[in-house]
Amino acid sequence: MDEEEQNEADLKRRIWIESKKIWKVAFPATISKFFAFGTLVVTQSFIGHISGIDLAGYALVQSLIVRFINGILLGMSSATNTLCGQAFGAGQNHMMGIYLQRSWIIELITLTILLPIFIFGTRIYKLVGQEESVANSGGYISLWFIPFVYSYVFSLTIQVFLQAQLKNMIIAWLSAFHFAIHIPVSLLFVYTLNTGVAGAMIALSLSSWFLVISEFVYVFGGWCPHSWKGFKVSAFKDLMPAAKLSISSGVMLCLELWYYAILVLLAGYMEDAKTKISAISICLNINAWEFMISIGFLVAACVRVANELGSGNVKAIKFSIKVLLGTSMAIGVFFFVLCLAFGEKLAYAFTDDDRVADTVSDLSLLLAFTIFLNGIYSVLSGVAIGAGIQGVVSIINLVCFYVIGIPLGGLLGYLTTLKVKGIWVGMIFGVLTQIITVGYITWRTDWDGQVKKASERLERFYLHSEENPEQISNES
């Protein structure tokens, strides 16, 4: 074998090894996000067959408020991923439980501050100009979402805590049980007990808290002996620096996740708002199903970059980013084709209204492009989270999405005959500018400098282990 063939074989072997590391994180993360989102979609399906108005109300709450809160909490949880991932790579396992407890404190306070958004939902929807019937339904449903979103604080943070230390399959199994329980519980409350919309929302909260309790049992029950040392008073130390990182992470992901939800809001000002809101919500849900895979790669990028930064391996970081982007783009092409082929048929899983299904079919090309771009910017976002540069990407997201994308979409939607399509085209352009900008920053990043910054960050937060103050054992 000549030198060229040897190098090619060596490259294939390295890609295979890195791919196994990526999928070890991405696959369980995808499964868990898939089932977590599946519970929301199942609930939407039940409500959609109860009432068209309630379907629009649920779509409004889920697409605007819940997506906003989910973005904040998911982003803040990603800060835990940054700290735990780098701590695991550096062998500071005992600090991971402290980071987890700090995230609970910070996120519970944050969510409680944001609670009036749910309590005054009806007034908010009317204030932004939504139809009265849809606003009233959305306000009622938003109250039922309160116990559900509180479960997010614990489920999201525990999941990133486990992912950072490569305990991935337990997350997938618990999420599968969560989804499996949700369906019969929904059938019980909606059809057997005939409790309608309220029953569907009760079932959503019950199944979500089942997941949280299961995660508590795993963490507290001794399956994380090196990273969970019990509740510590030290969790209340350094809250402000941790909160700063959490908030920047929350803003970054919230700006991404809430971006397409603006479509629902702007569609509410157009003629036949109920049909357009329902159709766009269905498109966003189809997009979100595939986005679960993209989130899996976001998590994988975050874990791989954070772990390698913690261990100081710059070459591994660069190679991992290349493999992540290549794999994610290939998956995006597959779903692009699939979406074009089956877009209209998928709509009937959510509605019986032919007008809504036809509107979904008309939007399928734009949906396909959105799905393709998901994988690219998710990987780049994961790299940013793993490196701890969320603040920079937050500013980029704000400019590209809300200064460029939405205004351009508004111009195309309201000043041309494109209507909803025009809004979506403008927003896709915003995503493209974000990908180009963040991609350039990733390419130009001084990773040796990032290794130094990660070391300084871990040193600033570091507390000696009570069991062994001199040495830190790494968990295999």
pLDDT (tens digit, 9 = 90+) per residue, 99-114?
899 889 988 998 999 9
Task: For 98-158, give the DSSP string.
Answer: HHHHHHHHHHHHHHHHHTHHHHTHHHHHHHTT--HHHHHHHHHHHHHTHHHHHHHHHHHHH
Contact 475, 227 (CB under 8 A): yes
Q: Which of 437, 147, 223, 24 minimizes the C-alpha distance to 155?
A: 147
Q: Which two tokens stand for residue 40?
A: 């929301």
Q: Which of 319, 302, 299, 300 minimizes the C-alpha distance to 310?
A: 302
Q: How many CB atoms lie within 10 A of CB 184?
A: 12
Sequence-distant (≥ 6) Cβ neighbours of residue 150 within 8 angstroms: 111
* Weakly modelled stretches of the chain, pLDDT under 50: 467-476
What is d(CA 311, CA 350) in angstroms, rounded to the nearest whole number? 47
Sequence-distant (≥ 6) Cβ neighbours of residue 456 within 8 angstroms: none
Q: Please report the pLDDT score of residue 119 as a whole number.
A: 92
Q: For residue range 270-313, what is the model confidence (pLDDT) as tens digits?
A: 666 667 777 777 787 778 778 888 888 988 898 888 888 888 88
Q: Is 86 helix (H, G, I), strand (E, B) or coil?
A: helix
Evaluate if pTM is beyond 0.85. Answer: no
Q: Please report the pLDDT score of residue 473 as a whole number.
A: 38
